[in-house]
Amino acid sequence: MCGIVGYIGKKEAFPILLKGLKRLEYRGYDSAGIAVLNGNLHVYKKAGKVSELENYTTGKDVAATIGIGHTRWATHGVPNDTNAHPHLSNSGNLALIHNGIIENYDAIKKELIKRGYVFHSDTDTEVLVNLVEEVRKQDNSSLEDAVRTALNEVVGAYAIVVIDRNDPDHLIAARKGSPLVIGVGEEEFFIASDASPIIEYTKNVVYLDDQEYACISRDGSFYIKTLGNVQKSPAIQKLEMSLEMIEKGGFEHFMLKEIYEQPKVIAEALRGRMSASQGWIKLGGLSEYSNRIENAERILITACGTSWHSALIGEYLIEDLARVPVEVEYASEFRYRNPIINEKDVVIAISQSGETADTLAAIELAKERQALIYGICNVIGSSIARMSHAGSYTHAGPEIGVASTKAFTAQITILTLIALQIAKEKGTISTSKLREILYELENMPAKIEQTLKLDSQILEIAKEYKDAANFLYLGRGYNFPVALEGALKLKEISYIHAEGYPAAEMKHGPIALIDEAMPVVFLATNASAYEKIISNIQEVKARKGKVIAVVNEGDTHIRSLADHVIEVPATEEVLSPLVTIVPLQLLSYHIAILRGCNVDQPRNLAKSVTVE
């Protein structure tokens, strides 16, 4: 949800900013802009992708050693050149970039208009930069004091960077609710929404906390203060990320690379956390609070989107294996329905980015009511990870494709370990069953590797159905959330309408949609519901629907009924989502490519949704 980047030092700022924006483009791609300061303050902004900005700035005056840049996911105002960031104050002295939403912008804007301010854009950001200007004028204060006072007046979420035309030696950056990282180099600083624009210049970073701001100087010094004007000592951390992790590595798209990374990702999520031969599981975060978690009367899992689908799988796993009641909540609904929650509850919050505003808000509420928060996040140092009492990182590496793939399977892997660890401690699983599942988990990277070999067969199926207007995805038990996720993947990147449903629910409504033009994807690997799924397939065939069935290897029965079968390696039913999701990811990828869609940056979406 918008990417921001800043630089001050001895190097040319413009190429650093431009490259940084390309790395952050997954966060929003409605418009892009850069401001550089070299005696004059030059602001270049363009609707569309960063490449549009790059073309537009060719040959322009960009030589400077200080600057800021922004890539936008539109909230206030349509995506056009004027609404693009950076925004200038009325005097033209201040330039500001912003990720987030200023909720009380309208009241502030009206007040500023009364005082003679003129607004050119529809954005809340232009209101903020003029508020800083007005405060500075009224109080006759420094830029730092004016930024702090202004931020104390606004309600909402932000990560901002401000520069002053008359002060080429300083940058001010602040955050509340939106992420901000400062890269600390040799007499140079990099500021960004995440570490990807920084990684090739320095591994030393400081994550700004909520309600903090940083004053950064060209002379190599900086300090951090709270919005209450209290100085903090900055904790410099070492980045674990490498450059190759954020590059495409020979794949045409990040999404495809990330689908193919899944065997490695699952192995990484398991590393050091279990041993099948010795029969142990140990998730560090879980052990720390084992008493409270094992004795929880219920567990709540909250998340959004794909992470919500893995939450549903978590519900099946924890109830099935550990016999603890679980409720799954959309984070966006949880906060607004006055949920019953108290100190006996354990809340698991799942988020790839660790920055999703709805999930953060749900955690805040659960924390206020004394629940224990267990975070499952991918991004190290992210807000959700830091707000949780305990948790486990998925260690999937940076996920850049907007459609989540490897984060999903990594989350399910962690949830499986959580369910098994609680089950073992509570004695709800036999030693032999535990070993069987652990051995299967260890085999999972190889099974996914085998599933990925189906890619060319799936491409052929994609060619046949790429022009379909609708798709239905059906599954039962552990494969019901997989059906939801398969449908979401197709919708997100190919713009084909798709619905996921529990297979048995089809007869209560969606069956009316079935005709010869309707492809229906069945997830038919579960032994426990096999006969029932076959009946559902028959019902679709009787109405001339087209059946694409994901089955266990060697399933001749369904082969005789379906139009297409995708044979995946059989596994324990509780682990089946890890395998069955892979062909669905590939199917949506190929359909989207055949339809000419931008799979890594689908329209209207952004990777991390930092607005409510």
> Which are the catalytic amino acids?
2, 607
Tell me the site size for ligand AGP, rule CB under 6 A.
16
Using rule CB under 6 A, residue 351 touches ligand AGP: yes
- The span from the first CA to the last CA of the chain, in angstroms, equals 11
Q: Which of 31, 83, 392, 404 binds ligand AGP (CB under 6 A)?
A: 404
Rounded Cα gap, residues 125 and 160, in angstroms:
9
For residue 179 the two structure tokens come to: 């992420």
Identify which of residues 403 and 593 has a Cβ nearer to ligand AGP in the complex.
403
- Restricting to residues 490-549, name those near ligand AGP by CB under 6 A: 492
Piece in contact with ligand AGP (CB under 6 A), picked from 84-92, 353-361, 431-439, 552-560: 353-361
Piece in contact with ligand AGP (CB under 6 A), picked from 360-368, 502-510, 538-546, 602-610: 602-610
Q: Which of 75, 202, 608, 610 binds ligand AGP (CB under 6 A)?
A: 608
Piece in contact with ligand AGP (CB under 6 A), picked from 58-66, 285-293, 525-533, 601-609: 601-609
Rounded Cα gap, residues 143 and 315, in angstroms:
50
- Restricting to residues 437-496, name those near ligand AGP by CB under 6 A: 492
CB of 138 within 8 A of CB of 153? no
Rounded Cα gap, residues 587 and 457, in angstroms:
10
Identify which of residues 23 and 607 has a Cβ nearer to ligand AGP in the complex.
607
> Shortest gap between Cβ of 328 and ligand AGP (angstroms)?
14
Piece in contact with ligand AGP (CB under 6 A), picked from 52-60, 82-90, 199-207, 603-611: 603-611
How far CA 476 is from CA of 482, 528, 533, in Å, comes to 9, 9, 8
> Shortest gap between Cβ of 31 and ligand AGP (angstroms)?
20
Using rule CB under 6 A, residue 413 touches ligand AGP: no
Distance of CA 224 to the CA centre of its chain: 27
CB of 321 within 8 A of CB of 574? yes
CB of 223 within 8 A of CB of 212? no
CB of 410 within 8 A of CB of 396? yes
Piece in contact with ligand AGP (CB under 6 A), picked from 265-273, 332-340, 350-358, 457-465: 350-358
Closest CB to ligand AGP: residue number: 305
Identify which of residues 41 and 379 has a Cβ nearer to ligand AGP in the complex.
379
From the number of C-beta atoms within 10 Å of its C-beta (0-12, 13-18, 19+), residue 512 rates as: exposed
CB of 222 within 8 A of CB of 566? no
**106, 100, 117, 116: which is closest to 193 by C-alpha?**
100
> Shortest gap between Cβ of 349 and ligand AGP (angstroms)?
9
Using rule CB under 6 A, residue 611 touches ligand AGP: no
Using rule CB under 6 A, residue 276 touches ligand AGP: no
Using rule CB under 6 A, residue 352 touches ligand AGP: yes
Using rule CB under 6 A, residue 403 touches ligand AGP: yes
> Shortest gap between Cβ of 401 and ligand AGP (angstroms)?
8
Strand order in the sheet with 66-72: 41-47, 31-37, 66-72, 3-8, 189-192, 181-184, 204-207, 237-238
For residue 397 the two structure tokens come to: 């590496």
CB of 423 within 8 A of CB of 414? no
Using rule CB under 6 A, residue 353 touches ligand AGP: yes
CB of 601 within 8 A of CB of 73? no
Identify which of residues 352 and 601 has a Cβ nearer to ligand AGP in the complex.
352
Distance of CA 72 to the CA centre of its chain: 16
For residue 268 the two structure tokens come to: 């990484």
**45, 52, 41, 38: which is closest to 80 by C-alpha?**
45
Q: Which of 18, 50, 147, 402 binds ligand AGP (CB under 6 A)?
A: 402
Identify which of residues 201 and 408 has a Cβ nearer to ligand AGP in the complex.
408
For residue 114 the two structure tokens come to: 């009364």
**Identity of the amino acid at 86:** P
Piece in contact with ligand AGP (CB under 6 A), picked from 71-79, 470-478, 527-535, 604-612: 604-612
Element holding 553 (H helix, E strand): none
Rounded Cα gap, residues 189 and 217, in angstroms:
8
Using rule CB under 6 A, residue 356 touches ligand AGP: yes
> Shortest gap between Cβ of 260 and ligand AGP (angstroms)?
17
Identify which of residues 171 and 592 has a Cβ nearer to ligand AGP in the complex.
592
Using rule CB under 6 A, residue 409 touches ligand AGP: no
Piece in contact with ligand AGP (CB under 6 A), picked from 170-178, 258-266, 345-353, 549-557: 345-353
Identify which of residues 305 and 545 has a Cβ nearer to ligand AGP in the complex.
305
CB of 258 within 8 A of CB of 406? yes
> Shortest gap between Cβ of 381 and ligand AGP (angstroms)?
14
Contacts of residue 368, Cβ cutoff 8 Å, sequence gap at least 6: none
Q: Which of 193, 302, 332, 359 binds ligand AGP (CB under 6 A)?
A: 359
Piece in contact with ligand AGP (CB under 6 A), picked from 43-51, 140-148, 397-405, 549-557: 397-405
> Shortest gap between Cβ of 362 and ligand AGP (angstroms)?
11
Beta strand 167-176 with 156-164 is antiparallel
CB of 550 within 8 A of CB of 524? yes
Using rule CB under 6 A, residue 214 touches ligand AGP: no
Cβ burial 336-370 (10 Å sphere, 16+ → b, else e)? eeebebeeebbbbbbbbbbbbbbbbbbbebbbeee
What mask of x and - would describe binding to ligand AGP in positions 294 to 323, judged by CB under 6 A?
A: ----------xxxx----------------
Using rule CB under 6 A, residue 99 touches ligand AGP: no
> Shortest gap between Cβ of 582 and ligand AGP (angstroms)?
15
Binding interface with ligand AGP (CB under 6 A): 304-307, 351-353, 356, 359, 402-404, 492, 605, 608-609
